[in-house]
């Protein structure tokens, strides 16, 4: 199973909401070799959540918020 960009966004949003961390637009999606990185609040420096979604398994890891 391969995860596409739209699926990665939905998986990331669901995990952030499940953890009640607050999903803030706009987002940025970075395509990596193993993972998609989804950044929330991408127009700001600091306070971002970085969500990694594995492209093959769909496993989601949340990092952040980043320091301001």
CB 36 within 8 Å of CB 55 = yes
Using one digit for the tens of pLDDT, what is the confidence trace for 5-19?
Answer: 999 999 999 999 999
**pLDDT, mean over the chain:** 94
Question: Would you place residue 28 in the very low, low, confident or very high pLDDT band (cuts 50, 70, 90)?
Answer: very high
Please, what are the domains in the chain? 5-63 (3.10.450)
User: Which helix (H) or strand (E) segment is 16 a member of?
Assistant: helix 5-18
């Amino acid at each position: 199973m391969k995860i596409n960009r739209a699926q990665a966004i939905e998986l990331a949003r669901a995990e952030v909401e499940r953890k009640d961390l607050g999903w803030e637009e706009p987002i940025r999606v970075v395509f990596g070799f193993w993972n998609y990185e989804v950044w929330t609040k991408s127009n700001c420096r600091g306070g971002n959540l970085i969500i990694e979604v594995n492209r093959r398994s769909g496993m989601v890891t949340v990092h952040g918020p980043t320091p301001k």
